[in-house]
Amino acid sequence: MKFLVCISNVPDTTSRITFTDNKAFNASGVQFIINPYDEIALTRALELKEALGGTVTVINVGGATTEPNIRKALAIGADDAIRVNAEPTDAYFVATQIAEAAKKNSYDVILTGRESIDYNGAQVAPMLAELLGLPCVTVATKLDIAGSEATVEREIDGGKEVLSVKTPFVLSAQKGMAEPRIPNMRGIMSARTKPLQVMEPAGDARLTESVYYEQPPAKQAVKLIDPNNVEELVNLLHNEAKII
Amino acid sequence: MSVIVFAENWSGKFKKSTFEAVSYGAETAKMLGASVTAVVIGNVSDEDLKSLGKYGATKVLSVKNDKLNELVPQAYAGIIAQAAQKEGAKAVIISYTYSGKALAGRVAVKLKAGLVAGATALPKSVSPFTVRKKCFSGKGLTDVAVHSDIKTIAITPNSYQVNAGSGEASVESFSPSLTDADFGTITKEVKKTSGKVVLTEAEIVVSAGRGLKGSENWGMVEELAEQLGAATACSKPVADVGWRPHHEHVGQTGITIGPNLYIAIGISGAIQHLAGVSSSKVIVVINSDKEAPFFKAADYGIVGDAFEVVPRLIEAVKKFKASHN
Ligand SMILES: Cc1cc2nc3c(=O)[nH]c(=O)nc-3n(C[C@H](O)[C@H](O)[C@H](O)COP(=O)(O)OP(=O)(O)OC[C@H]3O[C@@H](n4cnc5c(N)ncnc54)[C@H](O)[C@@H]3O)c2cc1C
Ligand SMILES: Nc1ncnc2c1ncn2[C@@H]1O[C@H](COP(=O)(O)O)[C@@H](O)[C@H]1O
């Protein structure tokens, strides 16, 4: 079984987010990590590969600065990697690039994270599936495969849904699917020599563009209420905030 | 010229997020000089279909097909795209619910219509067409310009108001062309989470963290939630140790919510927790440590012991309800 796992390179969850002249994200001093949901997807792909046999390839659309995290994915256990050498500014563009690379190899299962924690679109997986004409299960919390049939559980409003889907398909992984692995020494050593292919992008079809950034308005200072007078809180929620 | 709104239903019933999406579509249509056509897939009564006129829909395209009672993303996306083509749509509006997340990207690709996923406000301008959304898990805001001819907007639930007026939409039955290939996923089972109020849809959420010391102390959290008609939530460590079920865990690795009121009890306010709740309209923090970081993100705070404050708050809410009924 051939797995392709899409990994994006995102600021660490504790990063301070600032912008340069409201025009661009200011990456200086920011530590980048593999998007946490993508690590979950990667781990589940590795577990399934170990059980069923096959290969796990990771792909990233990004500049050369993302290579340390691609190597990390190889250290965690992926067999090989592809980097499409382009700035990932638009989900449609990213999905198009991954689709082009995927067409060159027939993958059985393509996994992404539920969403990237930078642009929070949650859209690369469905777009990719549409471009490849494949079914897609989004926000999946469980994935099991027997033969060419997968059983998947996904989150829905107010519960979960169990689905079946045949390979090939696309899936976006939510927490719960696997516990992310930490690379060990052997993995780190072997990652250095695993193949990392760099591809140039196919076309430049971008449909959207972030033209302005700002930080959310600072919160007003908290209004403290005497713990012996909680009626005051109820009053404020009713009269001032008007929510009860 | 039209604006298409996918009007989602759950077992035949619309919810608030549906009306928000139609209201949003109506306002966007005004900006574009267009009218709103809603697309409804499933067994919704004629009366409910017509009622979408109250929120600004002129026309409703109704698709009834027993194979489409559960979400089938490929088929649903195909229907929305076909409706958009038939109506000459300039924009497609989809609520950014779980279903919306499965559909918006597909529709965008079918129509080659640039997508703003998780919009939080009306388009700022229509030429250029820019829409605001959050980024970096709520730590930033960005205006996204859509360059394609048709635009897709997935609007975050609870970020745009419902505008109810009068009026009735005309209802037309719509028969899209579908093939077997559109049915790649087959729903086997739907498991509803117990609990009275669904967390992702709740207007009020009462949440508690490690400060409560043990699962046996959640009675007061549940009672406060019940008094307020709220859903319950928790921090990650609380779910990790099994005091509460995982589907209640909010935050960066859990569920993201944006209720009107979020009450955090005995939660320190770590950045990963805030990432899941920072869209809440009003935040109340109850914590015994006045230095707890959560107070910086709060609108109202009580520095005190939850085991004293929460029971008092329950009584105060009961009194308030008694005097306002
Ligand atoms: C990659 C990553 C992802 C994460 N994702 C999430 C996530 O999605 N969601 C999440 O919640 N966390 C997440 N975390 C964990 C997060 O960093 C915090 O550790 C966690 O939120 C703390 O939970 P807590 O506030 O319940 O517990 P604590 O931090 O232990 O805080 C307990 C609070 O209770 C207060 N308290 C104690 N006794 C009382 C009392 N009697 N009355 C009132 N207050 C009292 C204390 O003053 C303290 O502020 C993540 C961490 C990482 C590294
Ligand atoms: N630049 C990228 N390269 C590879 N995969 C990506 C990239 N951006 C996003 N993805 C994948 O798509 C998922 C959803 O991303 P998004 O649609 O940006 O929220 C991520 O979890 C990744 O798995």
**Rounded to a whole number, what is the distance in Å from the CA of A61 to chain B's nearest CA?**
18
Angstrom distance (rounded) from CA B263 to CA B310: 11
What does pLDDT average to over chain B?
96
What's the pLDDT at B152?
98
pLDDT at A17 over 80: yes
Confidence of residue B58 (pLDDT cuts 50, 70, 90): very high
Cα–chain-centroid distance for residue B302? 29
Judged by CB atoms closer than 8 Å, whether chains meet at B115 and A207 is answered as yes
Q: Closest-lying ligand to the alpha carbon of A227?
A: 1
Q: Under a CB-based contact definition with an 8 Å cutoff, are residues B20 and B162 in contact?
A: yes
User: Which region among A133-137, B37-41, B251-255, B303-307 has the lowest average model confidence (pLDDT)?
Assistant: B251-255
Q: Under a CB-based contact definition with an 8 Å cutoff, are residues A49 and A1 in contact?
A: yes
Q: Give the tens place of pLDDT for each residue, B68-86.
A: 999 999 999 999 999 999 9
Q: Closest-lying ligand to the alpha carbon of A126?
A: 2
Residues in Cβ contact with A175 at an 8 Å cutoff, skipping those fewer than 6 apart: A37, A40, A114, A141, B253, B254
Partners of A165 on chain B (C-beta within 8 Å) are: 184-186
Angstrom distance (rounded) from CA A89 to CA A93: 7
Residues in Cβ contact with B18 at an 8 Å cutoff, skipping those fewer than 6 apart: B7, B8, B9, B95
- Nearest one of B294, B109, B148, B133 to B207, comparing CA atoms: B294
Confidence of residue A217 (pLDDT cuts 50, 70, 90): confident
Q: Give the tens place of pLDDT for each residue, B179-216.
A: 999 999 999 999 887 666 888 889 999 999 999 999 99
Rg of the Cα atoms in chain B: 21
Angstrom distance (rounded) from CA A142 to CA B105: 22
Judged by CB atoms closer than 8 Å, whether chains meet at B301 and A124 is answered as no
Angstrom distance (rounded) from CA B139 to CA B124: 20
What's the pLDDT at A13?
86
What's the pLDDT at B194?
67
In angstroms, the Cα distances linking A63 to A68, A112, A173, B252, B318 are: 11, 19, 24, 26, 58
What ranges make up the beta strands (E) of chain B?
2-6, 9-10, 13-14, 35-41, 57-63, 89-95, 114-119, 125-126, 129-135, 140-146, 151-155, 170-173, 185-192, 204-208, 231-234, 261-265, 282-287, 300-303
Decide whether any atom of ligand 1 lies within 6 Å of the B301 Cβ: no
Return the structure tokens found at A222.
């908290």
H or E, element range at A144:
strand A136-146
In angstroms, the Cα distances linking B245 to A13, A224, B221, B254 are: 24, 31, 14, 11
> Which residue in the block uniquely carries the two structure tokens 């009275």?
B196
- Nearest one of A15, A10, A7, A45 to A177, comparing CA atoms: A45
Confidence of residue B265 (pLDDT cuts 50, 70, 90): very high
What's the pLDDT at B195?
64
pLDDT at B325 over 80: no
Percent of chain B whose predicted confidence (pLDDT) is above 70: 99
What is the rounded average pLDDT of the residues B164-169?
96
> Which residue in the block uniquely carries the two structure tokens 């709220």?
B230
Percent of chain B whose predicted confidence (pLDDT) is above 90: 91
φ and ψ at residue A75, rounded to 5 degrees: -70, -35
What is the rounded average pLDDT of the residues B123-130?
97
Angstrom distance (rounded) from CA B199 to CA B4: 28
Partners of B190 on chain A (C-beta within 8 Å) are: 156, 159-162
Decide whether any atom of ligand 1 lies within 6 Å of the B273 Cβ: yes
Return the structure tokens found at B283.
């935040």
**B131 three-state secondary structure:** strand
Return the structure tokens found at A11.
């600021």
What's the pLDDT at B197?
82
**Rounded to a whole number, what is the distance in Å from the CA of B121 to chain A's nearest CA?**
14
Q: Under a CB-based contact definition with an 8 Å cutoff, are residues B84 and B4 in contact?
A: yes
Q: Out of A91, A208, A228, whose CB is closest to B147?
A: A208
Decide whether any atom of ligand 2 lies within 6 Å of the A90 Cβ: no
Determine the Cα angle at A11 with ends A9 and A16, to 5°. Answer: 170
Crossing angle between the packed helical segments B219-228 and B306-323, to the nearest 10 degrees = 20
pLDDT at A64 over 80: yes
Q: Under a CB-based contact definition with an 8 Å cutoff, are residues A43 and A181 in contact?
A: yes
Atom of ligand 2 minimally distant from the CA of A121:
19
Please tell me the pTM assigned to this model: 0.90
Judged by CB atoms closer than 8 Å, whether chains meet at A14 and B271 is answered as yes
Partners of A150 on chain B (C-beta within 8 Å) are: none
What's the pLDDT at A14?
86
What is the rounded average pLDDT of the residues B164-168?
95
DSSP state letter for A238: I
> Which residue in the block uniquely carries the two structure tokens 């500014």?
A89
